[in-house]
Structure 1
Amino acid sequence: MTIGVAVVGYGYWGVNLARNVAAASTTELVGIADPGSDRRELAAVNHPGVVCWDTLDGALADERVSAVVLATPASTHVDLALASMEAGRDVLVEKPLAETSADAAKLCDVAADRGRILMVGHTFLYSPPVLRLKELIAEGDLGAVQYLYSQRLSLGRIRRDCNALWNFAPHDVSIMLHLLDEPVMEVTAKGFSFIEPGIDDVCFASLTFASGVGANLHVSWIDPRKTRLMTVVGDEKMAIYNDTSVDQPLWLVDSGVARDREFGAYESMSDFQWRTRAGDILIPRIEMSEPLRHEVTAFGDACATRVPPRTDGAHGLDVVRVLEAIDRSAGAGGRPVEVDR
């Protein structure tokens, strides 16, 4: 069973979404909506035979459309998603789900009330290296996770409709929440704007999870190198996830700190000697495939089975709550801010 899908927004990311909706085994691309005539012309060239509309209303009037994929600016997500769900359609919304947690919660409530699938495009939760890293943590290969940190840096694309935090950090917050499977309780953050006052180009944030695990994230669109790194440090092993590496996206590092017990008993804890342990680096074999294809396939599956997907509205709401708290902390000069629950 394939689900008839309309893609709304045929810009930078909408092009990729439409391509995958057309190619995925669980979905059928019925049409593409975009207000720009040049974008509709491009869509018609790339997808011959597919209907092109200038508004969402055209898509919702087509009975073949069972689900809607929104690849539009974040400021439009709430209105477009509400209109789609109220018209009886399931919805995949690009990240972030909404610009505020109140709006994100409203979308989740409407989805629940109307029995609609609400999914958020946190694509990295469908990435094979991230899924393998999740397995390593769940199976105890790293031991107890002590802390983790991420860097998502590049020179561009600089945007004026949102800051670097809301553009880049949804990816890393989503991954961290998925890896640890526990909520963030408190954040502290500092943001810095250099190009346009009021729009932060750089953000540093520290997160404290419910178990006490700490995390740091660093995002910037004015950095000399394209960097997509996440490091997870356990008390037995460590892992490095490098999204820019084609053939070595995940390293498992057998290094750490251990007590030296070679000399028998100790009279007190202060007598223990600590030493570092440097072991092998294992590069797991991972079959690479396009995460976006897996995401779109999962959306079609969820629409068909009515089983909520991995990146459902609740997960998207959790991400928005963390981003909102980081924004508040940065706006208050870095004071600690509790994450709303």
Structure 2
Amino acid sequence: MDARRYHALPSPFAMKRGGALHGAQVAYETWGTLSAARDNAVLILTGLSPSAHAASSSEDDSPGWWEAMIGPGKAIDTDRWFVICVNSLGSDKGSTSPASPDPATGEPYRLGFPELALEDVANAAHAVVADGLGIARLACLIGCSMGGMSALAYMLLHPGSVRAHISVDTAPQAQPFAIAIRSLQREAIRLDPNWNEGRYDDRRYPETGMSIARKLGVITYRSAMEWNGRFARIRLDPEQRAEQQPFGVEFQVESYLQGHARRFVRGFDPNSYLYLSRASDWFDVAEYGEGSVQQGLQRIRVEQALVIGVSTDILFPLEQQEQIAEGLRAAGAEVEFVALDSPQGHDAFLVDIPNYSRAIGGFLGRLSLDRGPG
């Protein structure tokens, strides 16, 4: 069974940086029941690679990427909230992406896909909420990682459409370190001969480039403290090593990265990865504030906000979470700022469930108790 639903976007669907999509769609899933007043909706925007399957349901009992956070009695309580998770436009997990057929040719878009911005991701998600589900105002918008950037775009582009916001491990703009890492990831894919200017297939596929890109990502998603604690300098048993391979895998941490990459490589379209990665680098709230991030953030109007960051996050440093909190507070929101010391780094929101549940569940509980879900 499949819980995935689809919303057809307006055709043409204009893109921020030029061009348009025709016959495009966005995949999404929902949990819980929408109230008669349509005032209890919580929208989740995801990081770069997750699908809309954030949690299991009666229609699809496979665990979702945020399974421990969403469900009856959990932090994002589906007995109370109608929860929506949208797969980003440009992702190959059901939404129109570079891997989708171009209606004009019948062939995959590949690099013919229009330049993608996170504003396009935000506008597509808003179309699902407003046009597809008839929800004029979200009770809460939750954005994780890249999805947090998309959430900021959503609120800037659609003022008055969100009552409360939860910002999770994100940023108002990419810092040079994050840009540098993503640039290397894209370069690894582009330099794989099998990428072939985006014209690969199942037989000739850029496995090596995608593997390196994933390994680079996983290294930065966790902290040095986490790597030291989990693996130290432990070597693989002799029978686990590739003895005939020069400079082959020798340490447990190398084997761990290989396993992560192996599971990811064929599970995400390389061109989609390139487009979404570059969109993350391009996004900048300062564009909405005459060159100032703070002025851009102050254009966002929500009643309440929770901003969560992790001290060990090197991709989206804690000072960027503080920047978001300060900007939303200056715009008039009641802001709670939570700084966690989780050793897991950027991935903490997927791993340190007790601390994130406490913060998010507490915020949503107070939101519904104090002001009602609408």
Question: Structure 1 length as normaliser, TM-score?
Answer: 0.30
Larger radius of gyration, structure 1 or 2? 1
